[in-house]
Each structure stands twice: as structure tokens, then as C-alpha cells.
Structure 1
Amino acid sequence: MSNYKKYLIKKVGWYLLTFVVVLMLNFFLPRMMEGNPVDVIVGKMAQGMSSTDSMTRIYESFMQEFNLDKPVWQQFLLFVQGLFRGDLGTSFSRYPRDVSSILASAIPWTLALQIPAIIVGWIVGNLMGAFVAYQKGPLGKVIYPVSLFLNSVPYYAFAIIMLYVLSFGLNLFPSGGGYDVSLMPAFNLQFIGSVIRHHTLPWLSIVLVMIGGQALGMRSMAIYELNADYVLYAKLMGLPDKKITGYVFRNAMLPQISGLALSLGTMVSGSLITEIVFNYPGIGYWLFTAIRQLDYPLISGCTLVISITVLVANFLLDVLYGLIDPRIKAAQVEEE
């Protein structure tokens, strides 16, 4: 068996073990929160009812439906069994809507917001960082402090500033939501235009910070590589600058590729506050809503999606690193 296959098998084993632990945490941690969500549901449904027996029957029926009358370990087994069928349970706060349908409607909104922002921010930021590192001119002296400023401001701060200035102040963009509430979702120019207008401010608040962070990271790595011994040796050997620049760029890009993979893996959780500020109907918004309303199935479903994306991103990163840098897989194999 080749070293690379051994490397992959070992990684798959560790990630499967990690997934089992993550699955347990996603189920048990929400249920450690204080309070009983069934009390809230029954309280809403029993308004105006005077019969204590009727309220008791409603309470018991909901406890049985949500399996809350069973021991926690048995609830976990039922959760895993439902997971293999693609059933994540019924939402407490949006009863009788199931969690899978909520996530299915929320994930496209989050992906449409995060993926373009991450990719554009990563490309533009790395180009800016490489330019600042290679070109010592007045433009580079301007780009560096701008990148530092952008990276220092949190996502939610940009979101609030843009919301206040561009929406409430200048009335150039909508203040929140995914589209105009007067419209019905449809594949037409009016609906698409509304989605783009509502998408612009959340997207800008993410992409600007992304550009600043990537530019600073690329600049630091490129400067470090330019001062490395192999660059001086290559110059003394008479290698053309273009070839040396290619080596420098390749080595400097390794950490940036890690950053890209991790950004893609954590895109769901990273959009949480941005979606809350703009009332954007993504998975981060639903996670916040579920936590506030003690919606155990929806919390577990949201965190499970986040965990899976993070694990998949890290696994793909390890596979990619093993192909790009043979030293990594060689070091892993030697540990066996």
C-alpha cells in the first residue's frame, strides 16, 4: 500500500471518530439548557382553555410526540435512527414543520450569501497582498493600512454601519429580509432583482472584511518567503525572477489555501450575526431563533450541518495538502 493511501485511511478513521463525538455533542448539549420547550407550546395552544385535564392531555401528547417522555439515551438512539432516514425531527418553535424542510429552505440563502463573498474576498485579498509584498510603491503604502482597517472591523460592525448609513440614512438598500414581503418567490426579473437588492449589504459586510484579512495574510507570507534562504540561493544561481516568484507564490499560498478551506467550512456559523442584523433567512438566523426558543431538534439540526461542513472542509484540506506538499503525508506515515 502506498504512503498516500495509508495517509488517507488514517485521516478517514480519525474524521469518522470525530463525527461520532460531534454527533453526541450536537444532541446532548442543547438538552442541557434550562427550561421545557413543551411548556411554551402548550401555553400558546391552551390560551383561553379552562380545563386542566385538557391541558394535561395536550402536554402529555406533545411529550410523547417529541419523545421527551423517554430517557435521554433512548432519545439519542431514536435521533440517530431518524438521521439515517433523513429525519431530523419536528421543530418545537415552528410546529408542525419538520427540521429538514427548514434547513432545506435556509441553506441556499446562506450559500448564496457566503460562497460569493468568500471566493471574491479570497481572490481580491490575495492579489492585493501579493501586490503590496512585491511592489514597494505609494499604492502599496495605501493598500496596507486600508487592509489593516478592514481586517480590524468585525463583520457585525460593518453590517450595522452599512445598515445605518446606506439603508436608513440614504435609503439605497432594503433594511432586511431576503426579498420584498409583497412578492411571492418566483423565477422572474422582479423577484431576482429584489433578492439582489436585499443580498448586497450583507454580502458587502462580509466580503470587505474577508479582503482585508486575506490581503494581510498574503502580504506577511510573501514577505517571509521573499526573505527565505532558497530565494537568495535561487538568485545567486541565476534563475529568472519569474520562476523565483512562482516558487514564492506557491509556498505563500499554502496557508491561504488553508484559510479558504476553513472559511468555506465555517461559512454557516460565520454568517450568524450578519444574518441576524439583516434578518436574512439563512441557517445562522434559524440557529439563533432556535436557541432563543429552546428548539432542541432545530438546534441539533443546525449545529449538525455546521459540524459536517467543518469536518468535510478540513478533510478535503488534508487531502489537498497531501497532494500539494508531500512532506505532510510523509510525516503522518512516519508516526505509524
Structure 2
Amino acid sequence: MTVIARRLAGHLARGLVMVLVVTSISFVIIRNIPGDPIAARYEKLIEQGMSPEQAERATAVLYGFMPKGNLWQQYLDYMSGLFRLDLGESLMTPGAQVTDVLFEATKWTVLPVLVGTLLSFLIGIMMGVYAAIKRSGRLGDILAVSGSLLHGIPQYVLALLLGALFTTLIPILPSGGTADIMFEPGFNLGYIGSLIEHAALPVLTYALASYGGWILAMKSSVVTVLGDDFILAAELRGMKRSIVFRYIARNAILPLFTILALSLGLLFGGAIFIERIFNYPGLGLMLIDSITNRDFALMGGAFLLITIAIIVANIVADMLYTVIDPRVRSGEEAGR
């Protein structure tokens, strides 16, 4: 088995254990919330005229496990449903499966998070290289200060500022939703343009909120690489400035690829504030609504999905670094 395959197998095994641990903790927390909402739902159905057996089955459909019996039996029922991808039904959307509601919300989170993060990453690393090379000049100072300022502003403050600017002071962008209702959903210019228009503020917020971190990280990495012996040797051999620049960028950017993968996973949880401010119906807004409406089946599914996203991001980050940096592979093979 190759080094990469062995590392991947180990990460997948640890990831599965982490998913089971987080799911178990979420189950116990939900079952011990003051007031026992599951028992309250069961009793309410009985008051509405259902027999105990009917109320038990109806509650099991909603929460994914049988509301009667000891905690261990309920846990086994819940995990059995989880392995069948049956997380119960959503209380906020009667008759809709939690998995369907999660899929619908996640697709609206993925695009802004992905576009905003990648945009900030590309611009941030380019500006970070210039900030490091020109660090003794005015351009370097301006870039470093811009990165520090944006890095220090919380995401929700930045979202509020952008919302106030572009929806109130200069009302050129919509303040909520995913598209105008006047356009028929489908592959047509009007609908696609409306999607882009409504996603502009969340994407801009993600990009600006992440830009400061990327430029500062890249600047620090480039400054470290500038002191390496191979850069001095390249300059002494009379290599062109552009070639030396590529050497610097390629070696400095390696650590940032792992941070990029981790950022994509963490932003699924961090999208809560941005989506709430812009009323953008993604995973973060859905999680807030599920907590407000005590939709515990949907809440547990959202926590599970965010956990899986973070674990997958960690695996991708580690595997990506192993693939793009041959020194990691050679070091592991030498240690065998």
C-alpha cells in the first residue's frame, strides 16, 4: 500500500469515529434538553386523539427514534436510522425528510462559500507576495495595513456594513432571498442574473472577511522563504527575476493550501451570521431557524453535516499537502 493510500485509510477511519462521537453527543444533548421536547410531542399527539402506539410511531418518524424505552434503546434506534440515512422528518416543513431539507439548504451555502473563499485566496496570495517583496516600501505598507484591518473586523460586522452600504445608502443590491420571484427557475439569463445579484453580498462578505488572513499569511510565508539558501543561490546564478519570483511563490504557498481546505470546511459553520444578516436561505440560516422552532431532528442533522464538512476538510488538507509537497512523501518513506 502506498503512503498516500495508507494515510487516506487512516484518516477515513478516524473521521468515521469522530462522526459517531459527535452524533452520539448531539443525541444525548437533545434528549436531555429541559422540558423533554420529545415527550412533550408524544403527549401532545395523545391529547389530539392518537392512541399511545400511534403517537409513538408518529414521534419516531419526526425524531428518528422511538420516544419510549430506555435511553440506550432510543440511541440504537436513532443510529439505525442514521445508517439508513433516515434522520426523521422536519417539524418546520411537515412531511419533508430532514435529508431533503439539508440538501436544499446546503446547495445555497456551497456556492457563496466556495466562490468567496477562492476569490479571497487568489487575490490574497498575490497581494501577499507583493507585500513581502515590497515590505520596505509604501506599497507593502498599504497592503499589510489593508490586510490587518480586514482581518480584525468580525464577519458579522463586515456583513452589516456591506448590507447598509449596498442595500440602503447605495441600493444597488437586494437584501435577501436567492432570486426574484418574477423569474422562472431554470437555465435562463434572467434567473441566473438574479441568482448572481442575490449572492453578491454574501460572496463579497466571505471574500473580504478572508482576504486579510490570506494576505498576512502569505506575506509571512514569503518572508520566511526569502531567507532560504536556494533563493540566494538562484540570485547568485543570475536567474531572471521572474523565475526567482515563481520559486518564492511556489514554496511559500504550500502551507496555505492546507489552510484553504480547512477554511472551506469551517465556513459551513461560520455561515450562520452572514446568512442571517442577508436572509440567505443556506445551512446557517436553516440551523438558526431549527433552534428557534425547536426542530431537533433538523438541528441534529445540521450539526452532523457541519461535522462531516469539517472532518472532510481536514482529510483533504492533509492529503493535499502530501500530494503537492514531495518532501512529505519522501520523509515518510524514509522513516519506514
Q: TM-score, normalised by structure 2?
A: 0.85
* Residues 150, 209 of structure 1: 8 Å contact kept: yes
* Residues 121, 260 of structure 2: 8 Å contact kept: yes
CA-CA distance at 1:42 after TM superposition: 8.2
Does residue 1:37 correspond to 2:32, yes or no?
Answer: no
CA-CA distance at 1:187 after TM superposition: 3.7
Does residue 1:289 correspond to 2:285, yes or no?
Answer: no
The aligned residue for residue 97 of structure 2 is 98
Q: Deviations over 1:228-249 (max 9, x none)?
A: 3443355456555444433332
CA distance in 2 between counterparts of 1:35 and 1:139 reads: 60
Does residue 1:188 correspond to 2:188, yes or no?
Answer: yes
Q: Deviations over 1:31-54 (max 9, x none)?
A: 3332343577689x89xxxx9573
Relative distance call for 1:130 and 1:116 in structure 2 (3 A) is same
* Residues 178, 198 of structure 2: 8 Å contact kept: yes
CA distance in 2 between counterparts of 1:64 and 1:312 reads: 30
CA distance in 2 between counterparts of 1:316 and 1:283 reads: 21
CA-CA distance at 1:319 after TM superposition: 1.6
Q: Deviations over 1:98-131 (max 9, x none)?
A: 1011112111110121111011111011111111
The aligned residue for residue 249 of structure 1 is 249
* Residues 116, 205 of structure 2: 8 Å contact kept: no
Code of the residue aligned with 1:214 in structure 2: it is W
CA distance in 1 between counterparts of 2:301 and 2:243 reads: 49
Q: TM-score, normalised by structure 1?
A: 0.85
CA-CA distance at 1:140 after TM superposition: 2.6
Relative distance call for 1:53 and 1:249 in structure 2 (3 A) is closer
Relative distance call for 1:72 and 1:292 in structure 2 (3 A) is farther
Question: Identity, % of aligned pairs?
Answer: 32
Does residue 1:63 correspond to 2:62, yes or no?
Answer: no
Q: How many residues align?
A: 331
The aligned residue for residue 120 of structure 1 is 119
Relative distance call for 1:5 and 1:32 in structure 2 (3 A) is same
Relative distance call for 1:151 and 1:7 in structure 2 (3 A) is same
The aligned residue for residue 315 of structure 1 is 315
The aligned residue for residue 165 of structure 1 is 165
CA distance in 1 between counterparts of 2:115 and 2:100 reads: 24
CA distance in 2 between counterparts of 1:23 and 1:269 reads: 16
Q: Deviations over 1:72-99 (max 9, x none)?
A: 3323322332233332211133332210
CA distance in 1 between counterparts of 2:322 and 2:85 reads: 33
* Residues 42, 67 of structure 2: 8 Å contact kept: no
Relative distance call for 1:76 and 1:2 in structure 2 (3 A) is same
Larger relative contact order (CA 8 Å, sep ≥ 6): 1
Relative distance call for 1:248 and 1:113 in structure 2 (3 A) is same
Code of the residue aligned with 2:73 in structure 1: it is Q
Q: Deviations over 1:277-331 (max 9, x none)?
A: 1111101111111122222211121111111121112112222222233444566
Structure 2: stretches of 5+ with no match in the other structure: none
Structure 1: stretches of 5+ with no match in the other structure: none
The aligned residue for residue 141 of structure 2 is 141
CA distance in 1 between counterparts of 2:264 and 2:60 reads: 39
CA distance in 2 between counterparts of 1:274 and 1:285 reads: 9
The aligned residue for residue 109 of structure 1 is 108
